[in-house]
Amino acid sequence: MPPTLRLATRSSPLARLQAELVVAALGRAHPELAVEVVTSDTIGDRTQQVALHEIGIRGLFTNEIDALVTSGRADLAVHSAKDLPSSEEGSDLVIAAVLPRGEVRDALVGSRLADLPPGGVIATGAPRRRVQLSALRPDLGFAPLRGNIATRIDKTPVGGAAVVALAALERLALGDRVSEVLPLEVCLPQVGQGVIAVRCAAGRADVVSLLAAIDHTATHRALDAERGFLRRLGGGCDAAVGAYATAEGSDGTIRLEAMIASGDGHVVLRRALEGTDPAELGVTLAETMLVRDGASLLVEVDR
């Protein structure tokens, strides 16, 4: 066991808070363990004026944090699972643990959806959110939205609304700013939304062993199913794709529901499937939607 475990994370308030949740979990599992938090900004943090899909780099919020681990300057990295690239191929790092999942739904800040007038504006930088909301309210307009949570709240259009992950608001004690929580029937979340993931080098058996004590099995299995789905699509943060899995049954059954939409939101496909093997379930559902439902015509498949 290392004398002090070095934990790398982004320097944003939410990232620091999530890192402290991991520190607390490690402290409960290993009271004798000392943990040092190492922070860094990423290219995603430094390019707030550019839409994520325009930057064209996978791992905008994770690459530089992971580099602290691969270079030996940190022993593990804490991420929002939704920020992780869909594939770990070519990486020496693995998701060794995840904490129990937080709230998965999206929330509106500002106006409620039903109270928005025709032509009302919703601020969001996520195609996934835009297409699902426009399918329900095609009369709405949309504005880009980037920045940390406080910045996003401040950028809520006058008379309009901004979409923010409910888990982020709750973790930052900003739940009182929520005007409406969007049901899953209206807006499926991003893959990994609400999950805090911890990565370390696959070859660090000592760190892998430490992290095993804080791993939440049901959440990890659900995340594996969602990531298997996204990996088969080859989708990134610019794809109009959502997925949500639950793995709480005693028989090991996982239920995965997913959404794939055209960029203009005119076509939104949703389908659910159950299985017991997380990765296989995600791949099977993706292939079913690509072939049987014609989703291959809606998304650019990265082969």
Domain boundaries, the chain: 4-99+195-215, 106-181, 230-294
Q: Which CATH class is domain 4-99+195-215?
A: alpha beta
**What stretches of 225-300 adopt beta strand conformation (E)?**
241-246, 254-261, 268-275
Q: Quickly state the pLDDT bin for 262 (edges 50, 70, 90).
A: confident
pLDDT at 3 over 80: no
Q: How far is CA 181 from CA 7, 54, 116, 194, in A?
A: 33, 29, 15, 14
pLDDT at 148 over 90: no
Q: Give pLDDT, residue 169.
A: 96
Of 141, 144, 127, 129, nearest to 47 by C-alpha is 144
- Contact between 243 and 188 (Cβ < 8 Å): yes
pLDDT at 43 over 60: no
Rounded to an integer, the average pLDDT of 49-76 is 75
Tokens of 28: 């409960």
106-181 matches 230-294 in fold: no
Of 239, 238, 247, 251, nearest to 282 by C-alpha is 247
Tell me which residues are annotated as active site.
Answer: 82-83, 128-129, 146, 152, 237
- Taking all residues of the chain, what is their mean pLDDT, rounded to a whole number? 89
Model confidence pLDDT, tens digit, residues 161-194: 999 999 999 999 999 999 999 999 999 999 999 9
Task: Look at the alpha carbons of 261, 125, 62, 8 in this order and tell me if their dihedral is positive or negative.
Answer: negative
- Contact between 275 and 221 (Cβ < 8 Å): no
Contacts of 59 (CB under 8 A, 6+ apart): 66, 83, 84, 85
φ/ψ (deg, to 5) at 246: -125, 140
Q: Give pLDDT, residue 184.
A: 97
Contacts of 33 (CB under 8 A, 6+ apart): 1, 5, 26, 27, 210
Rounded to an integer, the average pLDDT of 105-130 is 95
CA distance 142 to 121: 5
CATH placement of domain 106-181 = 3.40.190.10
Q: Give pLDDT, residue 147.
A: 82
Q: Give pLDDT, residue 249.
A: 75
pLDDT at 301 over 50: no
Tokens of 277: 């093997």
Burial of 287 (0-12, 13-18, 19+ CB in 10 A): middle
User: In residues, how long is the chain?
Assistant: 303
pLDDT at 279 over 90: yes
Q: How far is CA 104 from CA 82, 95, 139, 168, 296, in A?
A: 11, 19, 26, 10, 26
- Secondary structure element (H or E) that encloses residue 230, with its range: helix 217-233
Q: Give pLDDT, residue 86.
A: 77
Tokens of 15: 């990232």
Q: Give pLDDT, residue 89.
A: 61
Model confidence pLDDT, tens digit, residues 18-41: 999 999 999 999 999 999 999 987
Q: Give pLDDT, residue 248.
A: 74
pLDDT at 51 over 60: no
Least confident of 116-125, 136-145, 213-222, 259-268: 259-268
Q: Give pLDDT, residue 15.
A: 94
Tokens of 10: 């982004």
CA distance 275 to 247: 10
Residue type, position 31, single letter: P
| Choices 3.30.160.40, 1.10.1740.10, 1.10.40.30, 3.30.420.40: CATH for 230-294 | 3.30.160.40
Task: Look at the alpha carbons of 5, 11, 13, 14 in this order and tell me if their dihedral is positive or negative.
Answer: negative
Q: Give pLDDT, residue 237.
A: 43
Q: State the helix-helix crossing angle for 278-291 and 217-233, rounded to 10 degrees.
A: 30
Q: Give pLDDT, residue 141.
A: 95
Q: Read off the pTM.
A: 0.90
- Contact between 38 and 9 (Cβ < 8 Å): yes
Q: Give pLDDT, residue 302.
A: 36
Rounded to an integer, the average pLDDT of 38-53 is 60
DSSP state of 237: T
